[in-house]
Structures are given as structure tokens and as C-alpha cells.
Amino acid sequence: PQAFTCFGELLIRLSTSGRDPLYSLPELTPFVGGAEANVAVGLARLGHATRVISVIPDNDLGHAAAGQLRFWGVDASRVTTAPGRMGLYFLTTGGIHRPSDILYDRAGSAFAEADFAAFDWAKLLAGSSWLHVSGVTAALGLNAFNGALRAMQVARTLGIKVSFDCNYRPKLWEAWGGDARALIPQLMAQADLIFGGYRDIELVFQTTFAGEPGSDGRSRAAADHAFAAFPDLQRLICTRREQVNVDHNRLAGLMYTRTESLETKCYDIARIIDRIGGGDAFAAGVLHGILSGKSDAEALDLGIAGGCLKHAMPGDFALATVADLEAFLSEDGFDVK
Ligand code: KDG
């Protein structure tokens, strides 16, 4: 079968235990992540043939990350090795008086420094029906941005569908002074489908849309702006999160086409175990729906089910199965009473 391909950096996450702050030098638990890898694993768990194109250092950390992809059923044969280090990040879970915090330690990684100009993208993408890329890659520097842009351009010439998750990471852009407003729209312009909300659209167009977020107001206005700017764009998809407290959020899914605005029910996630990768799990669920020929409304429901279920799983990967998504939807969400 034609494969779903993700291009991006693999990362190792080191999480503090419980709500311990990093400065107390707590025990750290490792997980493998990376926004695009998370989508690949999520889709593999949902039964799709998936591949990752990435670059790792030729050391135990790099091989551990690629090994985790293989473990969860992703084809890692296009993960190559190159000089440089493994990208890491440290996660401190939020507490009552402290938001969660991410500390990146990834500058100069094998991926960020890879010679993407020498990649044979047509060969790497052969046999794929879909390419997924995210704004994290552009945020790593011009080299990685150019790699992402080239991958998307070649995919389009081969008739491969392209999705782009904005995944705006201010800390990464600030680390090298990159201009997200200049670079992110170039990637958006290549996409058939964008995961991103009104904040992303406002950022890249340096404008503010009127009204409340949600199906009709600000988000629809932002979507219309994106549709006018990007002629090939078919869908703009995002979540809307309400933070009741650090343990309890509410999540809904939104999808805009040129003619329609869809919104799911808003689900309670009352005992958050780990919200990292929630957006990637949402993306995997939506893409699973689209790849399976479901209606847009059904795909959006599958996405929100995946996004909510991820909050109950430690680590960056979404490991829900189709049966898990269906059970979540048929039970109308978690029992939060
Ligand atoms: O979306 C989850 C990702 O943010 C996480 O896996 C780490 O890719 C990552 C990043 O760069 O923040």
C-alpha cells in the first residue's frame, strides 16, 4: 500500500518525576518524541503504513529513537545517520502555581545540521501518498527549513498530498532569531491541509481577527484569510482548549473548509496524565479518518477522540487503537463524574 510519510527530527524527552522541578535534580524518565514522529506512530497504531524520513546521530541515543519507531510499527528505513548530537528536551510537569516547562537541549543536532540539499527527495518519497511536515522543522534554522520546503515541493510535483502542522515553538525561533512570519507561510503555501488555529494565522499575517474563537467568529475569519492566501489549501484544522486547571482541560476540534465550519463537542479531560503530543494525536486521528474515506465530521470526531485519549498516556506518542477511538466516541468521552 501507499505509505504515509512524516519528515522531522526525532527527540528524546527527559521528564521530571511527578511535579518535581528540574532544579531539584529529580529522577528523569526518558521517552522518544518529535512532533512528526508522534504523528507517524499514532497513524501506525491506527493501522496505516507509515514511514519517517529523519536523521539521527550514529550512537545509542539515535538508535534508541529509531528503534522506538520500529517497535511501534513505523518504517524507519529512511532514517539515516550523520555527524552531530541527539536532540533532547526536558519536561517539567506543571503544578498548581507553576505552568509546565520545556527546556530544549538540541542545538547542533544531527538533524538540524544534516545536508538536506543532498537528499534525493523523489527517491525518499517514492511509494508515499501523503507527506506530513511541521513548523518545528522550520524553527530549527534555515537549513532544516529549506529541507522541509524542498520535501513539500517535491511531494507536490509527485502528486503526493501534503499536510503541515504549524506547531509554533517561540523558544526555538528565538534561539536563532529566525523570522517565523517570513518562513512559515512558505510552508503553508505548499499544504493541502494545515493544522493550525487563528493564532497561527494571526502571527504569520500580522493581523488580528475580530470575534470570539470558534466556528463562526475569529477562527472562521482567520480560515478565510488563509484560504484566500493559499490557493491549494483545502482544510484548516485545530483544537480549542479550555484550561479548567492543571489537571482538567476541555478540548474541542474545529475544521474549516472553503464552504463549511465544523466543530465537535467539547470533551472534559479531567485527570491529565501527560498532554505532550496531544496535538499530534489529534492530527493522527483526523488523518486516519481522511485516509479511511470518512466524512470530514467523522474525521474530526476521530481526531478529538485521539487528542483526548493521548492525555491519559505517558510519553509523547499516541498509542490509541481504532477500537479505543470508537469506544471513546460511543461512550461520549471519558467518565468525569
Ligand atoms: O508536539 C509534541 C512535540 O512538541 C514533542 O514531541 C517535542 O517535537 C517536539 C518539539 O520540538 O517541541
pLDDT one-digit tens code per residue, 210-256: 887 665 689 999 999 999 999 999 999 999 999 998 889 999 999 99
Is 50 within a domain?
yes
| CATH number of the CATH domain containing 278 | 3.40.1190.20
Tell whether 240 is covered by a domain: yes
Q: What is the pLDDT of residue 296?
A: 98
**Residue 174's domain spans which residues?**
3-9+35-54+121-330
Q: How many structural domains does the chain have?
A: 1
Q: Say what the pLDDT of residue 211 is.
A: 83
Q: Cell 461512550 sits at which residue?
A: 331
CA of 109 to the centre of ligand 1 (A): 15
Nearest CA to ligand 1 atom 8: 34
Confidence category of residue 48, pLDDT binned at 50, 70, 90:
very high
pLDDT at position 230 is 98
* SS3 of the chain: helix, strand, coil, percent, to 5: 40, 25, 35
Q: What is the pLDDT of residues 115-151, one digit of tens each?
A: 999 999 999 999 999 999 999 999 999 999 999 999 9
> Does the pLDDT at position 287 exceed 90?
yes
When pLDDT is averaged across residues 325-334 and rounded to a whole number, the result is 95
Give CA–CA dist 228/314, Å, rounded.
40
292 is a domain residue: yes
Per residue in 19-47, pLDDT tens?
899 999 999 999 999 999 999 999 999 99
Ligand 1 within 6 A of 33 CB? yes
Q: What is the mean pLDDT of residues 60-86?
A: 98
Residue 159: phi and psi, rounded to 5, are 75, 20
The pLDDT value recorded for residue 97 is 77
Lowest mean pLDDT among 48-52, 83-87, 91-95: 91-95
Residue with cell 478540548: 251
C-alpha cell recorded at residue 96:
498548581
Distance (Å) from CA 293 to ligand 1 centroid: 28
Q: Is residue 232 part of a domain?
A: yes
Nearest partner of 219 among 269, 182, 261, judged by Cα: 261
CA 294 remoteness from chain centre: 21
- Mean pLDDT (whole number) for 321-327: 98
Residue 115 Cα to ligand 1 middle (Å): 22
For residue 277, report the distance from its CA to the centre of ligand 1, in Å.
7
Kindly tell me the sign of the dihedral angle through the C-alpha atoms of 29, 243, 241, 298: positive
What cell does 186 get? 512558505
Provide the mean pLDDT of the chain.
96
> With 80 as the cut, is the pLDDT of residue 337 above it?
no
What is the Cα–Cα distance from 13 to 156, expressed in whole angstroms?
A: 32
CB neighbourhood size of 321 (10 A): 12
- How many residues does the structure list for the chain? 337
Whether 67 is in a domain gets the answer: no
279 lines ligand 1 (CB under 6 A): yes
Query: CA separation (Å) from 128 to 20, 45, 161, 306?
Result: 43, 18, 9, 23
Does the CB atom of residue 316 touch ligand 1 within 6 A? yes
**pLDDT, tens digit, 9 for 90 and up, residues 3-18:** 999 999 999 999 999 8
Pocket test of ligand 1: the residue of 14, 136, 313 to mutate, having most ligand atoms within 8 Å of its CB, is 136
Q: How many percent of the chain have pLDDT more than 90?
A: 91
Rounded Cα gap, residues 60 and 68, in angstroms = 12
Residue 62 placed within a domain: no
**pLDDT value, residue 215:** 57
Whether 72 maps to a domain, the answer reads no
Ramachandran angles phi, psi of 215, nearest 5° = -60, -35
The CA-to-CA distance between both ends of the chain, in Å, stands at: 43
Banded pLDDT at 336 (limits 50, 70, 90): low
Residue entry with cell 487503537: 321
- For residue 99, the model assigns a pLDDT of 84
Asked, for residue 158, whether it belongs to a domain, the answer is: yes
